[in-house]
Structure 1
Amino acid sequence: MWYLKLILILVFAIVLYQDFKSRLVYWFLYPVIGILAFAIQLYTVPLNIAIYNLGVNLLLVSFILGVGFLYLKLRNLNIKNSIGIGDILFFVFISCTFSTVSFIVLFVFALLFSLLLHFVLSIKKEEETVPLAGYMALFFGAVYAMTFLCNGTFLYVY
Structure 2
Amino acid sequence: MIYLKVVILMCLVFIFYQDLRYKAVYWICFPILALLLFSLKFWETGFLNTVIDAGYGLLFLLIQLLVLWGYFSIKHRRAVDITNDHLGWGDILFLVVLTLYLSPGNYILFYISSLFLVLIYALCTAYLQKKNAGKHIPLAGLQAFLFAMIIIAHPLIPAITLYNDNWIYTLVV
Normalization by structure 2: what TM-score? 0.84
Q: Give the Å deviation of 1:150.
A: 3.9
- 2:4 aligned partner: 4
CA distance in 2 between partners of 1:152 and 1:37 (Å): 20
Q: Give the Å deviation of 1:111.
A: 1.1
- The worse-fitting range, judged by mean Cα deviation, of 145-154 and 20-29 is 145-154
- Give the structure with higher Rg (CA): 2
- 1:75 aligned partner: 75
**Is 2:130 aligned against 1:123?**
no
Point out where structure 2 has 5 or more consecutive residues left out of the alignment: 166-173
Query: How do 1:31-46 and structure 2 match up within 5 A?
Result: 31-46=31-46
- 1:114 aligned partner: 118
CA distance in 2 between partners of 1:122 and 1:135 (Å): 16
Matched residue pairs, number? 158
CA distance in 1 between partners of 2:41 and 2:158 (Å): 13
Counterpart contact for 2:8–2:33, Cα < 8 Å: yes
- 2:171 aligned partner: none
After superposition, the Cα gap between the structure-2 partners of 1:3 and 1:150, relative to the gap in structure 1 and judged at 3 Å, is farther
Point out where structure 1 has 5 or more consecutive residues left out of the alignment: none
- What letter corresponds to residue 108 of structure 1 in structure 2? I
- 2:55 aligned partner: 55
Match of 2:151 among 126, 144, 152: 144
CA distance in 2 between partners of 1:137 and 1:152 (Å): 22
Q: Give the Å deviation of 1:78.
A: 6.4
Instruction: Give the root-mean-square deviation of aligned CA atoms.
Output: 1.7
- What letter corresponds to residue 111 of structure 1 in structure 2? L
Q: Give the Å deviation of 1:135.
A: 0.8
CA distance in 2 between partners of 1:84 and 1:102 (Å): 23
Q: Give the Å deviation of 1:5.
A: 1.0
Counterpart contact for 1:30–1:89, Cα < 8 Å: yes
- 1:88 aligned partner: 92
- What letter corresponds to residue 9 of structure 2 in structure 1? I
- What letter corresponds to residue 145 of structure 1 in structure 2? I
CA distance in 2 between partners of 1:118 and 1:153 (Å): 28
Counterpart contact for 2:69–2:81, Cα < 8 Å: no
Counterpart contact for 2:34–2:100, Cα < 8 Å: yes
The one of the two structures with greater contact order (alpha-carbon pairs below 8 A, sep at least 6) is: 1
- What letter corresponds to residue 96 of structure 2 in structure 1? V
Counterpart contact for 1:41–1:50, Cα < 8 Å: yes
- What letter corresponds to residue 116 of structure 1 in structure 2? I
